[in-house]
Chains A and B, each alone.
Chain A
Amino acid sequence: LAKTTQPISMDSYEGQEVNITCSHNNIATNDYITWYQQFPSQGPRFIIQGYKTKVTNEVASLFIPADRKSSTLSLPRVSLSDTAVYYCLVGESNAGKSTFGDGTTLTVKP
């Protein structure tokens, strides 16, 4: 499995755009990049998944450069309810043995 590296924590204010970058230098050709959000004492929730370039859904965008060695989760206009831990996961589909890193704790302030 590709090892991922994310910032441990980030702070933001309501209404701002937040970008969280994940490094995955050893990503394999078949690996997808998936981001999850987790609130305290709840299971992680799928946010977005991509393979290359840009993916957008109703809650976030995912930017993946051509070399795919990193990815950036973009949350537009965050609110207090976006305060959570965000995990970047690479290669879960093939390995079937998912490894979550430490995640990024995002704190949104009023």
Chain B
Amino acid sequence: KAGVTQTPRYLIKTRGQQVTLSCSPISGHRSVSWYQQTPGQGLQFLFEYFSETQRNKGNFPGRFSGRQFSNSRSEMNVSTLELGDSALYLCASKDRGSTDTQYFGPGTRLTVL
């Protein structure tokens, strides 16, 4: 099976703009989670979607939002970008099972200038 794919891989934006990142999970996986990774804060959970519904949400402001489509593909949006939003954004998919191992994509490197 193909792995988790994320697009774009790199993105440069300026403060105040908005951005949309895309994630395609492994075929058959219905759960998609998003993470933000920065040198100072490490890997932080943003939210998880399952069957088009947000199931869990991390401690991030409302500028961070997401959605999931019927084919399990997911997008996350960040509005009114701030310098501190510069990070590696990771998407992970998992199949519903007793162990629920997550499989991560390569990430999108967002730079806010």
Contact = CB atoms under 8 A, between A and B. Distances in A.
Interface string A57-75: 0000000000000000000
B26 to A, nearest CB: 12
B55 A103 contact: no
Interface residues of A, number: 22
A4 interface: no
Contact of B102 (A92, A95, A99, A103): A92
B14 interface: no
A41 B109 contact: yes
B64 to A, nearest CB: 15
Interface in A11-52: 32, 34, 36, 41-46, 49
A34 B88 CA distance: 22
A87 B43 contact: yes
A43 B45 contact: no
A45 B104 contact: yes
Contacts of B71: none
Interface of A: 32, 34, 36, 41-46, 49, 87, 92-93, 95-103
Interface of B: 4, 31, 33, 35, 42-43, 45, 48, 50, 55-56, 58, 88, 90-92, 97-107, 109
15 contacts: A43-B4, A43-B90, A43-B91, A44-B102, A44-B104, A46-B102, A49-B99, A92-B100, A93-B97, A96-B31, A96-B50, A96-B55, A97-B48, A98-B45, A101-B42
